[in-house]
């Protein structure tokens, strides 16, 4: 059974840091790219970052560049999202997702329908 399990969310003050983890089960880690998305109340789900775990290619949305870093531990089948200098507007439920078709990534990595599997999400709240 395919599963993606997020952890590491919580409440943090503006300027603080959190590290999210996404551990995957049920498929070969290197065959997929793992993306991080977020969804704030009343807003659409948006792509935050993505890593093609086979070669380390990464993608970021502009608003998190320089603050967030995606990385992976292939031995642990886990992808991390290190979030620094957090802002209140980063508050959302964060989801990880997996996609097998790498050809889609350069143009569609931030588009939710691109992805095959999803986790249940973890809440990140940044207070001002």
The average confidence (pLDDT) of the chain is: 96
Q: Please answer whether residues 126 and 15 qualify as being in contact, where contact means their C-beta atoms are separated by less than 8 angstroms.
A: no
Going by C-alpha positions, the residue among 94, 99, 102 that lies closest to residue 113 is 99
* pLDDT for position 40: 97
Provide the β-strand partners of residue 94: 38, 122
Q: What value does the mean pLDDT take over residues 8-28? A: 97
* pLDDT for position 110: 98
* pLDDT for position 62: 98
Indicate the burial class of 79 (C-beta count within 10 angstroms; 0-12, 13-18, 19 or more).
buried
Give 125's pLDDT tier (boundaries 50, 70, 90). very high
Which pLDDT tens digit goes with each residue over 50-99? 999 999 999 999 999 999 999 999 999 999 999 999 999 999 999 999 99
Q: What value does the mean pLDDT take over residues 93-122? A: 96
């Amino acid at each position: 059974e395919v599963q993606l399990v997020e952890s590491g969310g919580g409440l943090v003050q503006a300027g603080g840091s959190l590290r999210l983890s996404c551990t995957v089960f049920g498929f070969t880690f290197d065959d997929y790219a793992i993306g991080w998305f977020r969804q704030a109340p009343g807003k659409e789900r948006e792509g935050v970052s993505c890593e093609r775990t086979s070669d380390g290619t990464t993608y970021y949305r502009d608003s998190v560049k320089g603050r967030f870093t995606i990385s992976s531990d292939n031995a642990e089948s886990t992808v991390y999202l290190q979030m620094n200098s957090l802002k209140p507007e980063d508050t959302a439920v964060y989801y990880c997702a997996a996609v097998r078709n790498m050809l889609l990534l350069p143009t569609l990595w931030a588009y939710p329908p691109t992805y095959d599997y999803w986790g249940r999400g973890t809440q990140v709240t940044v207070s001002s």
